[in-house]
Chains A and B, each alone.
Chain A
């Protein structure tokens, strides 16, 4: 545990990506099983202890520290794990924390009632850094600037393997990954994973550069499809076995039985999850009603039936076809559809694209008439590779809309921005009041952030924890992709991807439009 705590601290403080990779890789080389496998699981966020909550840990600390002092300290430090680690008042020297696998075992198996005692004991024999590491492990969400991909890259480096190879089997393996390490060290075969046991990492697109790309690229090399406004999913089907994964590999099958129980065939498909009847997509807000749920009711399934607009195929039955060019994969997909008629799957339409000009007008028309988010432009010869390869798939989003709104609240950001008020809630007139219509935390430069932060601090009228309400004096020009009805917000509307386009220091708030005016103008 000692070594792992040191590793976590170094990772948190080392800005360089390559050095982070070297740190993890060196750790793997000197750490025995199963500790290094558990460490890998923690770094990739694949180990959670659901019964140890951050609030519980706070309570443990507050039993031993004056509550007011804890609060002031937390406000200063800004991170629960670190506050507890530093404020813990007892330290017994001369003890070592047990090895990582023992800690993990205890985190997993200690009955709920004994957890406080266990944590207290460990806090008392640990150094502040070890306490911090322990709490981070217990509560998850390390926030040390290490992504799952970076950790896997380090593993690949350590084992002198191709990252792709690791990605391929990763989702079929479980901590502490003994067979993986055996293979990597040449002591065993490559772990065998069946295609239908795992999520296969997705291929992603990059935004098109309107200035340069059209000149460079030949439209004849590309196929064009709508960019659907749903969520990217992967459907894995193998006879009766079916699973639906989100783009990050989370298994979301349980929330969509209307899909998993109504599809047939054997394949791995890539597509967009949407809701709507007769394959007519409803707005993203309708889809949202069905996201982030563990289960779903019959009523939700009938009011918001889910389907998938399929645009790619990774496995045709058991055959891995990712090395075929897109154009051939598409053909296989169409043939597969012919053989396996579906009620919850539809094929993503391929749009006419003889010239860039026609793509431009298709994109505009799709946005105007159907609210499409834009178009996808995919190289016909592209093989399916995980990650974001350059120059293969492009997204070309619709032009944004703009609306002026008044800043209402500022909230402190996270990480590098934790000393700034960097998240802003904004609103428009509704009668004589201003009602919130959204929140944005991007679109401004670092220099503008300093000015916005200063505005929030100098114009605070009240405070609620990390949030400050400000004088309704500053107009923000907000760019957004679409406006939709929403029951979640008091204003009854929701914006997609709102960001701050310009700060209108010059504009009086009286000139901001009213809610009814913007509803008329933008609502689809």
Chain B
């Protein structure tokens, strides 16, 4: 991704928010996240734009609307008075109490992501997935449960879902999870008692839940836990083969993206007549828009850093 003079950043994930732009326009929460991850000087200038406030750039009005993806995530409405273009960024429609709910923004052209743009992706209710986790914790009192979850968004969501299911014990964190959990708590999202893994005895983790970045769960780091159940919270966990390949024993299908049906729902809800599909499996969604919904659709190649699967 090339540094720009002005960049509108939809959310803080690494394949969307990068170091080195001159001026960054984003929600205050996203700016806070960028500063926390990349340092206060990761852009020369920050222009916070709260949700639903409009700023003018040349001939175009820019407004941010909630995308329901992670804290601070936003869709971007570009309006020149004639055509309304919405760039969704990453988004989801399901309930998530760690960020503002997605909002339908009517438009003419919708630029949508398609991370899970195949009809095999039909995400279950995340609360059912959390029950699976709690049941496993209950059934395996001697083992630790090590949950791979991306440090921004997924980690906090899993913790919040656990709290909402009545789990009030201490949840342990890999060091890489700490900073953003604190940031979420500072934004009023109560995640309960969190402690770093630190130098505790192995046996202290029996029956406990630990949240770590996906890269750490199969790493040497995981050897400090007693016979850990390797879990992973991700939409990709829907595919068993995928879970097996990654050595995941307890897949938790918890996604911060739309599943197939939600993508189709959104396309229809916005009333857009032209759909540009990006970031994922464009072919299937483009095909469906054209042949089943009678919409103009094409893939849009955007400069990026690949799929960013774990996000």
**Is A72 in contact with chain B by the CB < 8 A criterion?**
yes
Q: Are A86 and B241 in contact (CB under 8 A)?
A: no
Task: Determine the main DSSP class of A at the interface with B.
Answer: helix
B245 contacts partner chain A, Cβ-Cβ < 8 Å: yes
Residues of B within 8 A of A65 (CB): 119
Q: Please, what's the 1-or-0 string for B258-299, where 1 marks a CB less than 8 Å from any CB in chain A?
A: 000000000000000000000001011001100110000000
Contact among B240, B281, B288, B292 for A12, CB-based, below 8 A: B240
Q: Which residues of B contact A12 (CB under 8 A)?
A: 240, 244
Could you tell me the distance in whole angstroms from the C-beta of A52 to the nearest C-beta in chain B?
Answer: 21
Q: Inside 8 A of A66's CB, which chain B residues have their CB?
A: 119, 287-288, 291-292
Q: Are B243 and A69 in contact (CB under 8 A)?
A: no
Q: Is A9 part of the contact surface with B, judged by Cβ < 8 Å?
A: yes
Residues in A neighbouring B250, C-beta threshold 8 A: 13
The reply to whether B240 and A72 form a contact with Cβ atoms under 8 Å apart is no
B122, B244, B248 — most chain A CB neighbours (10 Å):
B244
Interface hits, A104-135 → B, CB 8 Å: 128, 132
Contacts of B19 in A (CB 8 A): none
Give the residues in chain A near B288, CB-CB below 8 Å.
66, 69
A36-95 interface with B by 8 A CB criterion: 65-66, 68-69, 72-73, 76-79, 82-83, 86-87, 89
Check: A416 CB closer than 8 A to any chain B CB.
yes
Residue from A13, A87, A128, A419 within 8 A of B119 (CB atoms): A87
Q: How far is the CB of B94 from chain A (nearest CB, A)?
A: 17
At the interface, yes or no: A300 with Cβ under 8 Å from chain B?
no
Looking at chain B's contact residues, is the secondary structure mostly helix, strand, loop, or mixed? mixed
Q: Size class of A's contact patch? A: 20 to 34
In the complex, residue of chain A having the shortest beta-carbon distance to the beta carbon of B118? A73
**B120 contacts partner chain A, Cβ-Cβ < 8 Å:** yes
CB closest chain-B residue, reference A127: B124
Answer yes or no: A295 CB below 8 A from chain B CBs: no
B238 (CB) vs chain A CBs: closest residue: A86
Please indicate the chain A residues that have their CB under 8 angstroms from the CB of B243 in the complex: 13
Contact A72 B284 (CB under 8 A): yes
Instruction: Map CB proximity to B onto A1-27 as digits: 1 under 8 Å, 0 otherwise.
Output: 000000001001111000000000000
A418 at the interface (CB under 8 A from B): yes
B45 within 8 A of A: no
CB distance from A67 to the nearest CB of B (A): 11
Q: In the complex the two chains form, what is the Cα distance from A79 to B122 in whole Å?
A: 17
B251 within 8 A of A: yes
Interface residue count for B (Cβ, 8 Å)?
24
Q: Would you call B239 an interface residue if the criterion is a C-beta within 8 Å of the partner chain's C-beta atoms?
A: yes
- Which residues of A have CB within 8 Å of B5? none
Docked Cα-Cα span, A255 to B123, in Å, equals 50
Distance A86 CA – B251 CA, assembled complex (angstroms): 15
Bound-complex Cα distance A76 to B241 (A): 10
A8, closest chain B residue (CB): B240
Q: How far is the CB of A87 from chain B (nearest CB, A)?
A: 5
Contacts of A128 in B (CB 8 A): 122, 238
Contact with A along B211-254 (1 / 0, CB 8 A): 00000000000000000000000000011110111011111000
* Residues in chain B near residue A68, CB distance under 8 A: 284, 287
Chain A residues with Cβ below 8 Å from B284 are 68-69, 72-73
Whether the Cβ atoms of A86 and B249 lie closer than 8 Å is no
Expressed in whole angstroms, the Cα–Cα distance for A416 and B241 within the complex equals: 8
Q: A71's closest neighbor in chain B, by CB?
A: B284
Quote the shortest CB–CB distance from B192 to chain A (angstroms): 29
Q: Say whether A76 contacts B118, CB under 8 Å.
A: yes
Task: Check B120 against A13 for contact (C-beta < 8 Å).
Answer: no
Interface mask (A223-256 → B, CB under 8 Å = 1, otherwise 0): 0000000000000000000000000000000000
Q: Which residues of B contact A69 (CB under 8 A)?
A: 118-119, 284, 287-288
Asked whether A132 and B240 contact (CB < 8 A) given A69-B119, A69-B284, A73-B119, the answer is: yes
Contacts from B to A (Cβ < 8 Å) = 118-122, 238-241, 243-245, 247-251, 281, 283-284, 287-288, 291-292
**Contacts A68-B287, A73-B118, A76-B120 supplied; 18 other A-B pairs, CB < 8 Å:** A12-B240, A13-B243, A13-B248, A13-B249, A13-B251, A69-B284, A72-B281, A73-B119, A73-B120, A76-B118, A77-B241, A79-B241, A82-B239, A86-B119, A86-B120, A86-B122, A87-B120, A128-B238
Pairs A–B under 8 Å by Cβ, sample size 23: A12-B240, A65-B119, A66-B287, A66-B288, A68-B284, A69-B118, A69-B119, A69-B284, A76-B118, A77-B239, A78-B241, A79-B240, A79-B241, A82-B239, A86-B119, A86-B120, A86-B121, A87-B120, A89-B119, A128-B122, A128-B238, A418-B245, A419-B245
